[in-house]
Homo-oligomer: A and B are copies of this chain.
Amino acid sequence: MTTQRDKLREDVKFRVLRLLQDNPEMSQRALAQAVGISTGGIHYVLNALVEKGMLKLGNFTAAEDKRRYAYVLTPKGIAAKADLTRRFMIRKLAEYDALKAEIEEVRADLSEQDLADIRATLKAGN
């Protein structure tokens, strides 16, 4: 089942595209952290997106900083993101239902006291 990994990869691509559409001047490291992967990893993903023609490297505006790029979505990238959005939605809604069902199922194994403790824990910070 490489399916699981593929899902995570697709999530990453979607989130990257989404983040960049709203803020094309994010640094690779900021993206990496936001998405939850390493610097090497984000670089790999960005390169892939550029080679597929979904992103193009614009020049960074502020002070003409020659180190950085602005990663702007191409029309193709915008279309791909729209498609990924639909697929993401479908996947997440399914996950949502599954999660809901599993929570309900496991809840039966917990005492009232446990549940009260858990609610208290969640009220506080993690």
- A interface residue numbers (CB < 8 A to B): 1, 4, 18, 36-37, 82, 85-86, 88-90, 92-96, 99-100, 102-103, 106-107, 109-110, 114, 117-118, 121-122, 126
Q: Is the CB of B106 within 8 A of A88?
A: yes
Q: A89-B110, A92-B106, A96-B100 are in contact. List 18 more A-B contacts (CB 8 A).
A: A4-B36, A85-B109, A85-B110, A85-B114, A86-B118, A88-B106, A89-B114, A89-B118, A90-B118, A90-B121, A92-B102, A92-B103, A93-B103, A93-B118, A94-B126, A95-B99, A96-B99, A99-B99
Q: Which residues of B contact A86 (CB under 8 A)?
A: 110, 114, 117-118
Pick the residue among B90, B109, B121 that contacts A122 (CB under 8 A): B90
Q: Is the CB of A36 within 8 A of B122?
A: no
Q: Which residues of B contact A85 (CB under 8 A)?
A: 106, 109-110, 114
